[in-house]
């Protein structure tokens, strides 16, 4: 991301972006643990847990988009592209780690 920030002349805003992004990750993981917890204690069915997970994930991604837009002071489309790239990298790294662990 630092390479992209330098190419777009956003390097002065990069540190606040990283701080906000890290805190959103913390809050997002806490929120996304709720459906699994509800499923484990028997307060939600598997289908309801999936529905909660999808809904909470959409909220976390929207929060990430808004934080990216505000902290980097970029357009809606560029913020969406940055968030999409981040989510894609997260998924790719997670898949690679699962393959290594198997």
Please write the tens of the pLDDT for every residue from 54-98: 999 999 999 999 999 999 999 999 999 999 999 999 999 999 999
Q: Tens digit of pLDDT for each residue in 72-84?
A: 999 999 999 999 9
CB distance 31 to 59 below 8 Å: yes
78, part of any domain: yes
Give the domain range for residue 52. 16-101
> pLDDT (tens digit, 9 = 90+) per residue, 9-35?
988 999 999 999 999 999 999 999 999
Q: Is 61 exposed, middle or buried (0-12, 13-18, 19+ CB in 10 A)?
A: middle
10 falls within a domain: no
Q: Which of 30-44 are b and which e, b meaning 16 or more Cβ less than 10 Å from the residue's Cβ?
A: ebeeebeeebeeeeb
> Is 6 part of a structural domain of the chain?
no
Give me the residue label for tokens 């809050």. Answer: 27
Compute CA distances 60 → 11, 13, 45, 84, whole Å: 24, 21, 22, 13
The pLDDT confidence band at residue 1, using thresholds 50, 70 and 90, is: confident
- Look at residue 9 and tell me if it is in a domain: no
Residue 4 inside a domain? The answer is no
Total domain count for the chain?
A: 1
Question: Residue 74: what pLDDT?
Answer: 95
């Amino acid at each position: 991301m630092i390479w992209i920030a330098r190419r777009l002349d956003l390097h002065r805003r990069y540190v606040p972006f990283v701080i906000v992004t890290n805190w959103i990750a913390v809050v997002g993981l806490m929120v996304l643990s709720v459906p699994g917890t509800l499923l484990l204690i028997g307060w939600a069915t598997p289908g309801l847990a999936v529905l909660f997970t999808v809904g909470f994930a959409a909220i976390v991604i929207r929060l990430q988009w808004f934080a990216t837009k505000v902290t980097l002071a970029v357009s809606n489309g560029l913020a969406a592209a940055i968030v999409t790239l981040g989510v894609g990298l997260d998924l790719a790294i997670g898949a690679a780690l699962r393959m290594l662990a198997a």
